[in-house]
Structure 1
């Protein structure tokens, strides 16, 4: 297949991408969306807002290279990643065993079959994602918290015993997702705050205060180094030797020694989240966003006035001591 034909098909594929679809670069998974195409290039915007034009002549060079020498995805220069991600949409390219290569025979076959059918084949690419799947931690926490708030608005959770099993499952899953996402984001924010809080310092915000704290984390040195130091101090090795649970498990698994012989075993039952229906969560979120967008100006103004009034009352109470 000539590159002119391949370029035309690549443009068609880019123009027909689902509006929700984004691409990620190999390796570092930088997220970007295809805005539009023309004869000379493909215009994309990265998630952080940076725009870039991917030029046709560079695609042609990359296609020629992939036809003679597969590209190692782990060692791609950053500037090449977007080209590979987009070119993977074109017919006749394949990603396998960490390599990006041209498969000209497959391209010819696909082109013939598609033209005979009078339609446009779907070319799968491992670099296409849904915007939902590449949300950053703040976005995920926001969405899960919004879903949780909506659930609590629609249900009474003050008496958990009155909840149906379905409602209890939904509440547990949402609480679990919010907790996990919030904990991850909290750790990231905490790492950033260390640059702002000096030794023994504190920082105050609208909702509270954080301070710099310290704890020791210990990790055993090499066993030989430990024994050498004990020998210098005339301390018998037996004083520090004990039962290694990992080694003990091997003994239990490979000998007649039973688990009950060496462990006090107690059964503990608990609920664990094993699956999340991401599609259902997304559908619910889209519905909430639609409801918010339908809120007319008058209702929005009333809500803002109510919030301003409440904030004013709080300020007055704080001022009064």
Structure 2
């Protein structure tokens, strides 16, 4: 029996069309992200994020996949690479559900439009996109709250101060990740004592020596060879000291000086709220299609021209 009839095909297409803009599906085994570009009478067009490859998923092949589910389930580990996108898409249907190990035919239990392979638009963003978005949110918050200097923080309400801290932390963390990736790529391009110049600055290869002791046996043998008393370099091993504390009646205060450092720890980030706020800003920018929007665009172009002139002059 072919369950991929006109009604079921229309329902699957409808679920695909309802997937939020920017959301992606992951292939079940290889975890390749892809988005749904369009649907048609005979296919669903998808685009893979890691290669920008477009690929049609044919209705006929969905029917073949459906026939293979005639027994009621298919083990995810048995999926072939070419079948994985079909499995991810069909999991959106009202006719199927996914347990820990299989795709299961279960119309009574399935929830149309939901899938463990579906990643929200907020979560699907790449690290550079997240840095970009967090920086925009932080810049908007600084502008809205009119934060001119650090002294103005004492007049900020607690909720806003918390958001300011969280966004600054997220920008720093994201920028560090992007910077590390850029550093590794630059090291491939930089020769010894070479400098590379960009519009905003200059970088060069720098080498620092980092030393760490060799194994204990080698170090102690070298000391003995030169007549150096071992006691000069032997110290307390903290790991071994903690073991002693755990198995004896030795008190912490006997061997440790204890102090407290008080700091603010970020314990949670509401990515959905951030993304929703970002979409609101994007919608407002998009609405600037009148004279005010054109004036703003002209002003930005003028700023860019002045920056270009200043950089060229230097």
Q: Shorter-chain TM-score: which interval?
A: 0.7 to 0.9
TM-score by length of 1: 0.79
Q: 1:302 to 1:41 in 2, by over 3 A?
A: closer
Summarize the alignment of residues 94-105 of structure 1 with structure 2, pairs less than 5 Å apart: 94-96=98-100, 99=101, 101-104=102-105
CA distance in 2, matches of 1:129, 1:261: 53
Is the Cα contact below 8 Å between 1:22 and 1:129 reproduced in 2?
A: yes
Counterpart pick for 1:192 among 185, 188, 193: 185
Match of 1:169 in 2: 162
Match of 1:117 in 2: none
CA distance in 1, matches of 2:215, 2:90: 50
Instruction: Give the superposed CA RMSD.
Output: 3.4
Match of 2:19 in 1: 18
CA distance in 1, matches of 2:224, 2:70: 62
Counterpart pick for 1:260 among 253, 260, 266: 253
Give, in angstroms, the shift of residue 291 of structure 1. Answer: 1.1
Query: Which segments of 5 or more consecutive residues in structure 1 lack a partner in the other structure?
Result: 115-119
Match of 2:274 in 1: 281
CA distance in 2, matches of 1:4, 1:28: 27
Q: 1:310 to 1:156 in 2, by over 3 A?
A: closer
Match of 1:32 in 2: 34
Is the Cα contact below 8 Å between 1:34 and 1:42 reproduced in 2?
A: yes
CA distance in 2, matches of 1:272, 1:241: 36
Match of 2:112 in 1: 122
CA distance in 2, matches of 1:249, 1:171: 39
Is the Cα contact below 8 Å between 1:10 and 1:87 reproduced in 2?
A: no
Deviations 1:246-302 (A, max 9, x none): 232232233212222221110110111111122321222111111111112533432
Is the Cα contact below 8 Å between 2:29 and 2:76 reproduced in 1?
A: no
CA distance in 1, matches of 2:104, 2:312: 73
CA distance in 2, matches of 1:126, 1:170: 30
Match of 1:142 in 2: 132
Match of 1:269 in 2: 262
Aligned residues: 304
CA distance in 1, matches of 2:60, 2:213: 57
Is the Cα contact below 8 Å between 1:138 and 1:185 reproduced in 2?
A: yes
Give secondary structure in 2 for the equivalent of 1:34: strand
Is the Cα contact below 8 Å between 1:14 and 1:34 reproduced in 2?
A: no
Match of 1:160 in 2: 153
TM-score by length of 2: 0.81
Is the Cα contact below 8 Å between 1:66 and 1:102 reproduced in 2?
A: no
Q: 1:56 to 1:216 in 2, by over 3 A?
A: farther
Query: Which segments of 5 or more consecutive residues in structure 2 lack a partner in the other structure?
Result: none
Name the stretch that deviates more: 253-262 or 14-23: 14-23
Deviations 1:77-110 (A, max 9, x none): 64443233223334345341xx3x2445xx2xx2
Give secondary structure in 1 for the equivalent of 2:265: coil
Is the Cα contact below 8 Å between 1:11 and 1:37 reproduced in 2?
A: no
Give, in angstroms, the shift of residue 187 of structure 1. Answer: 0.5
CA distance in 1, matches of 2:269, 2:61: 42
CA distance in 2, matches of 1:215, 1:40: 61
CA distance in 1, matches of 2:36, 2:310: 52
